[in-house]
Amino acid sequence: MSAQALVVVPTHNERGNLPALVTGLMKHDGVRLMVVDDQSPDGTGALADALAVEHPGRIQVMHRTGPRGLGRSYIEGMTWAIREPVDLICQMDADLSHDPEQLPRLIAASAQADVVIGSRYIPGGAIVNWPKRRQLLSRFANIYIRGVTRLDARDCTSGFRCWRREAIAGLPFERFTSDGYCFLVEMLFVASRRGCRIAEVPITFVERRVGESKISKSVLFESAIIPWRLIANPETARKAPPRAQ
């Protein structure tokens, strides 16, 4: 792989998954990892520090303090990442639902796009071990989000993505309004309004075998509201001004 890619991974209680994730990612030349840990009580942060020592110069760990949250963690991780000398910034979950083996396909597709989504909902995509209820919820969420926001992508809620660094650097995080999982939708929506080219490659999503999901009722509530807030908010809905030459 010739492009330099930095993978930002938020963690909360992922001790049982992190070593396999690190092994899978470190197999790929040119790939670095930033773990953004939210004071995991199970010691994920300390484990990440130990893994960073085993892979000098390739793994960084951010130990967050203050209120925990997926969106806040991504904003801090991405804000750090855009200052690094990398071509690509990727994002993925720590729980092995996103297979590190599939990362090179996202990276390859980024040659023709500003953001590549690892997609469960295009031909070739799949979900393994999700209960029917969770599958229906995710399907419905995507239909709803696409319907309200007019986003083209089939999988707007996937957390497995590869961005060109400049595309992330152009996002006005200080104006973002969502935290939890909706942060992923907001990122995609704002990027699309700013003219980013969005592509999708199929992935197989495998439900975690170790640890617990952190999805909650309040997250589901936020998901119902956010698409409307996005299209109503003149700041996030605004098209980017033309770039100065």
Ligand X SMILES: Nc1nc2c(ncn2[C@@H]2O[C@H](COP(=O)(O)OP(=O)(O)O)[C@@H](O)[C@H]2O)c(=O)[nH]1
State the nearest-atom distance from the C-beta of 150 to ligand X, in Å.
24
State the nearest-atom distance from the C-beta of 55 to ligand X, in Å.
19
Site map 50..89 versus Mg ion, x via CB under 5 A: ----------------------------------------
Count CB neighbours of 78 within 10 A: 22
Binding segment for Mg ion (CB under 5 A), chosen from 7-15, 81-89, 114-122, 205-213, is 205-213
Q: Does 97 sit near Mg ion (CB under 5 A)?
A: yes
Q: For 115, phi and psi rounded to 5 degrees?
A: -140, 135
Q: Which is nearer to ligand X, 18 or 113 (CB)?
A: 18
State the nearest-atom distance from the C-beta of 197 to ligand X, in Å.
26
Q: Which residue has the tokens 């893994």?
A: 51
Inter-residue contact 190 to 151 (CB < 8 Å)? no
Q: Which is nearer to Mg ion, 73 or 236 (CB)?
A: 73
Inter-residue contact 205 to 127 (CB < 8 Å)? yes
Q: How far apart are CA 40 and CA 42, in angstroms?
A: 5
SS3 201: strand
Q: For 134, phi and psi rounded to 5 degrees?
A: -70, -35
Q: For 57, phi and psi rounded to 5 degrees?
A: 80, -5
| Residue of this chain nearest to ligand X (CB atom) | 213
Q: Which is nearer to ligand X, 77 or 227 (CB)?
A: 77
State the nearest-atom distance from the C-beta of 218 to Mg ion, in Å.
17
Q: Does 138 sit near Mg ion (CB under 5 A)?
A: no
CB-count burial class (<10 Å; 0-12, 13-18, 19+) for 45: buried
State the nearest-atom distance from the C-beta of 16 to ligand X, in Å.
11
Q: Which is nearer to ligand X, 149 or 223 (CB)?
A: 223
Please give the C-alpha separations between residue 164 and each of 28, 84, 107, 160, in angstroms, as whole numbers: 18, 12, 9, 14
Q: Which is nearer to ligand X, 21 or 196 (CB)?
A: 21
SS3 89: strand
The residues binding ligand X (CB under 6 A) are: 10-12, 14, 36, 38, 68-70, 73, 93-95, 97, 208, 213-215
Judged by beta carbon distances under 5 to 8 A according to partner kind, the member of Mg ion, ligand X, none in contact with residue 194 is: none
Binding segment for Mg ion (CB under 5 A), chosen from 74-82, 130-138, 176-184, 206-214, is 206-214
Q: For 114, phi and psi rounded to 5 degrees?
A: -90, -30
SS3 217: helix
Q: Which is nearer to Mg ion, 13 or 97 (CB)?
A: 97
Residue numbers at the binding site for Mg ion (CB under 5 A)? 95, 97, 208
